[in-house]
Structure 1
């Protein structure tokens, strides 16, 4: 049974409370009335990060932003966010085009080196939304809302690239037009085990796709996904299409590979394999 999230006290133990590695600047930013923005995909890391932030940041200083990826993400993301948060303002933003449209227009898939999917579909819309929120609140006379802490759920354990990320930094590029902006990775040091433990300790569950074998959320078929996740996603797309926003998504990816003459995955040992070859699931 779901607890009353508005009144429950999260007791994750002293060790877990310290795991967020609160930067020295954060208590002062809270005291100054900073707006803490929770980037929430609906995935396990976002969910655990939100629970950690709820321990330290007053509810009135929290807002949630979700970048809606439309047909390429798992179904029920917004519903899961709503069910596992305590009623803070939720802003859903969208890019002007979907990932599939982007691939069609460019005639190629994003790559680990050129991840337009991240910049165009996630980071760009989220940052525009945050700027709009600060403008609206400043116009109402809340001067402190120009002070922003943009919270993201990337973890060092996920990849060598994410391990190198700075967990707390001032954002000069976004500190303009009366804004003072910081980027924070509150659970950067957490392990996957600790993420799931924090969710369980709060009396919650992660999105259902984790129990069905997926290790990552957001895009169903991600260029950064493991072969295990791609095989699992292809199986779920054929066996349980209702889990996807677009039940025909798998066949559309394979069709785009054939139409563009490109494959979505980087070569492995010099061999370029199509998505259906990797998954073993006919499109």
Structure 2
């Protein structure tokens, strides 16, 4: 049996009967983490409430993910609580982010277009749709209690996760995030699942994917993207995501277009739209690279007025981007850009004065 990692603070909370909630996604790490944690809690006599909690991301989820979570809950004899973001799943979040980006660009509330997709450096897919909704649900369920929130994070997964600690608390010390299998290998994870008599998600051994999260994940390798696209259940989502690539002119993974992974799944119009999107992306990047760093906003606000030359440059860039993407933009000449910058600077100064007062 693999040894789990723990800390004195976690041990103290367990001994005091604090609630233990294990986040499960249907993936192997959360499955193994739940099995190992329950075994440990049984062994040391934990008497507090326990549950599994799953954040449903909507249409991006694999069909089998909820089933795997449900089977795990039945095996452990515990409740599975499913939570969701009220304003929609991850696909809806990406689409809404693009609409917001367009609106902000048209009104010159941003100098360059903001990508619609989450990225490895900006994983709002995890923070907004998983962590936030899970923590909020746990606080409502266990008011005024300190809660142990278990995750299946492992250091071997990535360079970023190599820095993960065994446990950490939020600012108020109410939510303790515990990573009991942080030092496990992938082999140890699968061995724990196999020993339990449960099966891991079919995406691993049937679809031949190396990781299971969303059907198409921003962290996926090319091989995983291709394996996902080969599954019929993913075809509708694939076309929807490629359509967003095409109209936003932003590739799903930076320089890697999801539309290039399985173009045979697109109809003639879908392939034509993607080609137009790629051409518009080239024009957008060529135009926006002329914008200098001092012209960019800081935390959403301009820091100074532009010179006439800078205003002219920004006007030309906005004209080119608007034409390439078919936007109905305002602020396309020197005078209107100067006026808009003055308006934004005044608004920001008013906010700062109100904060001081």
TM class by shorter-chain length?
0.7 to 0.9
User: RMSD value over aligned CA atoms?
Assistant: 1.7
- Residue 84 of structure 2 is aligned to residue 101 of structure 1: no
Deviations 1:70-103 (A, max 9, x none): 1001013222112123231221100122222222
Deviations 1:173-206 (A, max 9, x none): 5x3xxxx321111111111111001111112210
The structure-2 alpha-carbon separation of the partners of 1:204 and 1:251, relative to structure 1 and needing over 3 Å to count, comes to: same
Higher mean displacement: 68-77 or 106-115: 106-115
Task: State the secondary structure of the residue aligned to 1:53.
Answer: helix
Task: State the secondary structure of the residue aligned to 1:129.
Answer: helix
Please say if residues 21 and 186 of structure 1, whose CA atoms lie closer than 8 Å, have aligned partners that are also in contact. Answer: yes
Structure with more relative contact order (C-alpha pairs < 8 Å, separation 6 or more): 1
Task: State the secondary structure of the residue aligned to 1:160.
Answer: coil
Task: State the secondary structure of the residue aligned to 1:248.
Answer: helix
Alpha-carbon distance, 1:154 to partner: 0.9
Deviations 1:208-244 (A, max 9, x none): 11112012222110111111111100111xxx32xx5
1:183-194 correspondence runs (5 A) = 183-194=177-188
- Match of residue 195 from structure 1: 189
Query: Where is the helix percentage greater, Structure 1 or Structure 2?
Result: 2
Separation in 2, partners of 1:200, 1:134:
33
Q: Please point out which of 124, 131, 144 is paired with 2:139.
A: 131
Alpha-carbon distance, 1:280 to partner: 6.0
Separation in 2, partners of 1:224, 1:263:
13
Q: Please point out which of 184, 203, 210 is paired with 1:209.
A: 203
Separation in 1, partners of 2:36, 2:264:
39
Structure 1, unpaired ranges of 5+:
1-11, 139-145, 267-271
Alpha-carbon distance, 1:49 to partner: 0.3
- Match of residue 151 from structure 2: 152
- Residue 125 of structure 2 is aligned to residue 117 of structure 1: yes
- Residue 241 of structure 2 is aligned to residue 253 of structure 1: yes
Q: Please point out which of 256, 262, 284 is paired with 1:273.
A: 256
- Residue 52 of structure 2 is aligned to residue 64 of structure 1: yes
The structure-2 alpha-carbon separation of the partners of 1:281 and 1:123, relative to structure 1 and needing over 3 Å to count, comes to: farther
The structure-2 alpha-carbon separation of the partners of 1:22 and 1:273, relative to structure 1 and needing over 3 Å to count, comes to: closer
Q: TM-score, normalised by structure 2?
A: 0.64
Aligned pairs, how many? 241
Please say if residues 231 and 281 of structure 1, whose CA atoms lie closer than 8 Å, have aligned partners that are also in contact. Answer: no
Please say if residues 28 and 190 of structure 2, whose CA atoms lie closer than 8 Å, have aligned partners that are also in contact. Answer: yes
Structure 2, unpaired ranges of 5+:
99-115, 267-357
